[in-house]
Amino acid sequence: MPLEIVRNDITKMTTETIVNAANSALKMGGGVCGAIFNAAGPRALQEACDRIGHCEVGDAVHTPAFSLDAKWIIHTVGPVWGGGSNNEEKLLRNCYRNSLKLAESLGCKSISFPLISTGIFGYPKEPALRIAISEIESFLMGHEMHVYLVVFDRQSFGISEKLYNSIAAFIDEQEAEAVEKKYSYGRLRKVDEETIQQYQEESFKLESAAELSLDDVLKNVDESFSDCLFRYIDKKGMTDTETYKKANIDRKLFSKIRNSSGYTPMKKTILAFAIALQLDLHETEDLLGKAGYRLSRSHKFDLIILYFIERKNYNIHEINEALFAFDQMLLGA
pLDDT at res. 40: 98
Determine the average pLDDT of the residues in 20-29. 97
Q: Per residue in 8-17, pLDDT tens?
A: 999 999 999 9
Single pTM value for the model: 0.84
pLDDT at res. 135: 97
pLDDT at res. 321: 92
Name the pairing type of β-strands 72-77 and 17-22: parallel
Work out the pLDDT band at 107, boundaries 50, 70, 90.
very high
Coil, helix or strand for 259?
Answer: helix
Contacts of 5 (CB under 8 A, 6+ apart): 148, 149, 151, 320, 321, 324, 330
DSSP-derived secondary structure letter, 12: G
The residue type of 280 is D
User: How far apart are alpha carbons 236 and 168 in whole angstroms?
Assistant: 32
User: Mean pLDDT across the chain, nearest whole number?
Assistant: 88
Contacts of 157 (CB under 8 A, 6+ apart): 115, 125, 129, 151, 321, 324, 325
Mind giving me the DSSP string for 144-195? --EEEEEESSGGG----HHHHHHHHHHHHHHHHHHHHHHHHHHHHTTS-HHH
* pLDDT of 254 higher than 90: yes
* pLDDT of 277 higher than 70: yes
The residue type of 168 is A
Coil, helix or strand for 225?
Answer: helix
* pLDDT of 38 higher than 60: yes
pLDDT above 70 covers a percentage of the chain that reads: 85
Determine the average pLDDT of the residues in 251-260. 93
